[in-house]
Amino acid sequence: MTVLNIGIVGCAGRMGRALLAAVHDAPDSHIAGGTDVAESGWVGRDLGEVLGREAIGLAVGDDARALFTVADAVIDFTSPKATVLHARLAAETRTVWVLGTTGTSAAGDAAVADAATKTAVVRAANMSVGVNLLIGLARKAAAALDTEFDAEILEFHHKHKVDAPSGTALALGAAIADARGQDHDKVKVLGRHGVTGERRRGEIGYAVLRGGNVIGDHTVVFAGESERIELVHRAGSRDIFARGALRAAHWAHGKPPGLYGMADVLGLTD
């Protein structure tokens, strides 16, 4: 069994803690370290304290470069602002980079693509096994139904989420558009308000809900004449994303440079 040294950037956040716990508890993984921003108040404190457990002898740091240097893989669910820096570090150190951050800018996307020419990068809007199966099912349904059925996507997340629609919702819409031979950017409707007129054939509509501590619900609706198909995924714990990210890190270790997705990790590609 190969044991990977895995680092977590943003280790004191909601997802960071879930990732730390997953790595700590996995027999084939070892915590290489964790970083967070100084303003969090966690820098210098033991990672075990972040987990609410006994000390493990590693302190939360604020030097991402040092973490990328010592880790076999780094898992990143931080912020779009940090993506360019982390992409550069992944490229320089040739460290496997598992990226779950959504809402990145064009510059961030370009930096990710560049990093993927130097190392293995697994990027996914959502790393749960169930969600990636949902994306595959949505793609198959869209190909079979085409634009005879109207496609709508509803997503519901906790009140702290800062981007909308969610990256997962957009990934679902992109899969539907691709299956129907459409340009997603030309057919997506990110919100409706006021007198909008009739729905145009081929649109992919989005609706967004925010509130409470909802981890993430996604519903894809295909609405036709006198019938409706709904595909639903509800996340009950952030552990599902952490487990998927950890699986991606192990899968990518030893892979050649390239930009991979969870479909590759899970063997869902055609």
Active-site amino acid positions: 157, 161
Dihedral pair phi/psi, residue 52, rounded to 5°: 75, 30
Q: List CB contacts of 1: < 8 A, sequence separation 6 or more.
A: 27, 28
The CA-based diameter of the chain, rounded to the nearest angstrom, is: 62
Three-state SS at 155: strand
Q: List CB contacts of 44: < 8 A, sequence separation 6 or more.
A: 59, 60
Angle of helix 129-145 versus helix 167-179 axis, rounded to 10: 30
Q: List CB contacts of 269: < 8 A, sequence separation 6 or more.
A: 263
Q: For 31-55, b where at least 16 C-beta lie within 10 A, e where not — what string?
A: bbbbbbbeebebbeebbbebbeeee
CB 123 within 8 A of CB 99: yes
Three-state SS at 147: helix
Beta-bridge partners for 212: none
Dihedral pair phi/psi, residue 233, rounded to 5°: -135, 130
Query: Taking Cα atoms as reference points, which of 70, 105, 71 lies closest to residue 85?
Result: 105
